[in-house]
Structure 1
Amino acid sequence: MKIDYFKQKFPHKYKQLLVKFVIVIFFFGVAFRFLFFHSEEISPVLESPLPEKTEASVSVPETPVSTEVVENADQVSRTEKCDIFSGDWIPNPSGPAYTNESCNLIESHQNCMTNGRPDKGYLYWRWSPRDCELPQFDPARFLNIMRNKTWALIGDSIQRNHVQSLLCMLSTVEQAVMVYHDEEYKSRTWHFPTHNLTIAVIWTPFLVEAVIFEDQNGVSSSEVELYLDKLNNKWTDEYQNIDYMIISTGKWFLKSAIYHENDTVLGCHYCPKRNLTELGFNFAYRKALRFVMDYIASSDHKGVIFFRTSTPDHFENGEWFSGGTCDRKAPVKEGEMEMKDLNKILRDIELEEFAKAAEKASRNGVNLKLLDVAPLSLLRPDGHPGPYREFQPFAHDQNAKVQNDCLHWCLPGPIDSWNDIIMEMVLNG
């Protein structure tokens, strides 16, 4: 009725509307027919993340983008994003995962809290890479992933320092049981029975054979006899039985030593009372490290091997034997503290020899990784025991002269972040 009324009242407008309606129906039908008959002819390139631009869709000419270039760019981006060794120490209000009271595995020289260190600020920092998020160590997840596995930390006393940190963090979930120790308790083995995980520390500070003449305070009565062509069988005998290992050395090569090869004395480092050629510690370090790396790279080991760079010390105003101290109370920023020349020499040798070995290891299918904790450790001059390597060193005399430890790390302390890094490398490579 309404349509008839509109037609009679406005005949001219009715005809215009009718024509427009017919035109709309016509074009709609043409469009539908075009889409229907051409839908199966759409190029599969449209399914690609980077479809080719056509003249119909682009008004301004663009330089074609190569898919290969973009893929390579993504790889570079991911690599840069996950550089977990480049970053800063940031405040960590939650504090450490354990304390001297919750963990009974901390050796006395690293037990700074028990020994009376008065400041606690060094406990409230964590390592944070600049371009990616580093999850904090998850002991429950680590234990589950490492079920039925064997770990070994092989090297000097910093490895003992590190193994205590790892055990203390894991002890928040399950207590470790010590199942072996050598006579001096320098090499030890622990077992986590619920997860059948074994963790060992193997003390071999040179990785090659050595006869050492010194007391517990590091005072030598004679030069070290160092055999540069003989690996220490403490670790080589167990090598194939270890699923994951961290190998490190370094500082011990700075000691006075006589160098042997092929059952012949080659020379020495700092032996003025001997009529021997001065070869320098760098000669021996490179030779020994190359021998170790070649052994690893040439093996058929099927596990994961981390080579950890040596950590810098923070003695200031002297060395360990000449009154050096480390009294700082906070981390420093990158560039604020220079690595000492001797540490630089060790580091350069480590990086050069690792690079050579890594190439060979890759060809042989050996999983060799670089655990480069030296740069991030350099930024923590506040994390050492200092005078608190001994119990209450100033209890009887506030001005007492005591030996400082500016090489090893307080527990808990900065070394705990190494476990965050290791877990990330194990899980995500």
Structure 2
Amino acid sequence: MKQNLWSSAYYKQNHFVFKLGISILLVGFGFRLLFSQSSDAIPNVTDDNIIDISTPVLENDVKPIPLDFVESPKELNQFQPKDDESEKCDIYDGEWIPNSGSPAYTNNTCRWIESHQNCMGNGRPDTGYVYWKWSPKACELPRFDARKFLEMMRDKSWAFVGDSITRNHLQSFLCLLSQVEDAVELFHDKDYKNRKWHFPSYNLTVSVMWSPFLAKADIFEDINGVSSSEIQLHLDVLDKTWTEQFDTWDYILFSSGKWFIKTAIYYENNSILGCHGCEGKNYTDLGFNFAYQKILKNLFEFIMNSNPKSMIIYRTSTPDHFENGTWSTGGSCDRMVPAKEGEFELADVNRILREIELPEISKAEERASEKGMKLKLLDVTSLSLLRPDGHPGPYRHFYPFAEDKNAKVQYDCLHWCLPGPIDSWNDLLMDLVVNG
């Protein structure tokens, strides 16, 4: 009996050991199988159905992904570089991409385009320049939504203060909004340089103020830009054309730059301080950069001391695309497609303007933030540099080659066709307003 009990116990013990051994072998085989297939279990970064192919591949020095992550692509994405959910996207870093959609307006659907920028109406034969859109590299930039914008701007007022490119920008702004409700003009001066419009259903007013230097300036030019005397520019006195109305606006966009290149006598405290380009006169040539920086400092000091409740936006100066000459020496711009990155470099003048305005705006933004004020940069320089195809060129004139296909006409490679690339400036502007 004892022998039987011992035999039974011995059998059970051996049976247990045998089962344990089999189990260990099976577990070992399972682990080997799992590891041998683990590379297939990690989502393939070239598979569009799992992870977008634009997602950067993990570098070799990154720690291995735990095996319990491999079935969760969403969790795998935590190991990828962060997108604009954690850092605000740079809307100014991008490229122009083809856009098959129709332009938001045409010269037939907007009556606020001035003749010099009415490229379609003046007979420009190619239309490809309107079928591109600005696309930031790291995020989506929504197109200007006129209806949404008007709803946001109920009972508000806007002002665009600056030179003729500012007015060019303003016309694009009006044309986009007028596709929802046409603007009603309330006022214009005799030269149509200072104007005001109203959108009745939204009680939105929009003004444009001609102030090419943003400061007091006596200008002696005709409509074609021919001067009879040097400009008298007061560096220490801002232009009362806009300062007297400054407190009445909710949104103000300032811009300047190009006019500082012109020959001018500089004043301070009503006394001649120096000049720019005044050859033959016994004045110190201080350079246009001196004047631009000094006036920008005065502008931002005025804004800070005014402590406005309005949102202030400063738009950077924009490049021209004259080739084989300048405005007055037969320069032209006949390109019909955007330039590739690096194909155009900023001209020295534009580079100097930019080197002045960016630091001054940055300092002003920091001061404004400390005071709880809204002051923002609208940087259109880089994206505009890539659009040599967007200027009126010879089509600033009405059908310039109608009578003579070889006619010599002055090209405009500074202002912008409407519709055209300048409309994307308002995509950027709306992003500033919505997210600023």
TM-score band w.r.t. shorter chain: 0.7 to 0.9
Question: CA 1:301 to 1:79, structure 2 compared with 1: closer, same or farther past 3 Å?
Answer: farther
- 1:278 deviates by 1.0
In 2, distance between residues paired with 1:423 and 1:360? 23
Counterpart CA distance in 1 for 2:303 and 2:377 is 13
Q: Tell me how far 1:81 sits from its aligned partner.
A: 5.1
Partner of 2:378: 371
What does 1:190-269 align with in structure 2 at a 5 Å threshold?
Answer: 190-269=197-276
CA contact (8 A) 1:154 1:245 kept: yes
Question: Which residue is 2:399 aligned to?
Answer: 392
Structure-1-length-normalised TM-score: 0.82
Q: Does 1:306 align with 2:313?
A: yes
CA distance in 2, matches of 1:183, 1:274: 34
Structure 1 residue corresponding to 2:138, chosen from 128, 131, 134: 131
Letter in 2 for 1:209: K
* One-letter amino acid of the counterpart of residue 412, structure 1: P
Q: Where do 1:18-417 residues align within 5 Å?
A: 77-78=84-85, 80=87, 82-417=89-424
Secondary structure of the 1:326 match is: coil
- C-alpha displacement of 1:296: 1.4
* CA deviation vs aligned residue, 1:143-179 (integer Å, no higher than 9, x gap): 1110100001100001110111111111111010000
Q: Distance in 2 between matches of 1:391 and 1:306?
A: 34
CA distance in structure 2 between the aligned counterparts of 1:414 and 1:204, rounded to whole angstroms: 24
Question: What TM-score do you get using the length of structure 2 for normalisation?
Answer: 0.80
Q: Secondary structure of the equivalent of 1:382? A: helix
Distance (Å, rounded) in 2 between the aligned partners of 1:151 and 1:300: 17
Q: Report the Cα offset of residue 337 of structure 1.
A: 1.1
Bigger mean CA deviation after superposition, 76-85 or 115-124? 76-85
* Structure 2: runs of 5+ lacking an equivalent: 1-7, 13-65, 68-77
Show structure 1 runs of 5+ residues with no match.
1-11, 17-57, 60-69
Stretches (4+) displaced over 6 A? none
Report deviation, 1:245.
1.1
CA RMSD for the aligned pairs? 1.8
Q: Structure 2 CA distance, aligned partners of 1:118 and 1:144?
A: 37
Q: Which AA in structure 2 matches 1:424?
A: D
Number of the residue aligned with 2:5: none
For the 8 Å contact 2:84–2:138, the answer to whether it is kept is no
Kept in 2: contact 1:100–1:411 (CA 8 A): yes
Please say if residues 84 and 139 of structure 2, whose CA atoms lie closer than 8 Å, have aligned partners that are also in contact: no
d(CA) in 1 for partners of 2:268, 2:227: 23
Deviation at 1:189, TM superposition (A): 0.4
1:363 is displaced (CA, Å) by 1.7
8 Å contact from structure 1 (residues 81, 132) kept in 2: no
Partner amino acid, structure 1, of 2:299? V
What is the CA–CA distance in structure 2 between the aligned matches of 1:297 and 1:86, rounded to whole Å?
Answer: 29
Structure 2 distance, partners of 1:80, 1:224, is 46
1:276 Cα shift? Answer: 1.0
| Cα shift at 1:428 | 1.4
Shift of 1:299: 2.3
Letter in 1 for 2:252: M
Aligned length: 361
Partner Cα distance (1:182, 1:366) in 2: 32
SS of residue paired to 1:189: strand
Q: Could you say which residue in structure 2 is the equivalent of 1:55?
A: none
Structure 2 CA distance for partners of 1:128 and 1:79, relative to 1, 3 Å: farther
Residue 370 of structure 1 deviates from its aligned partner by 0.4
Counterpart of 1:383 in structure 2: which amino acid? G
Identity %: 61
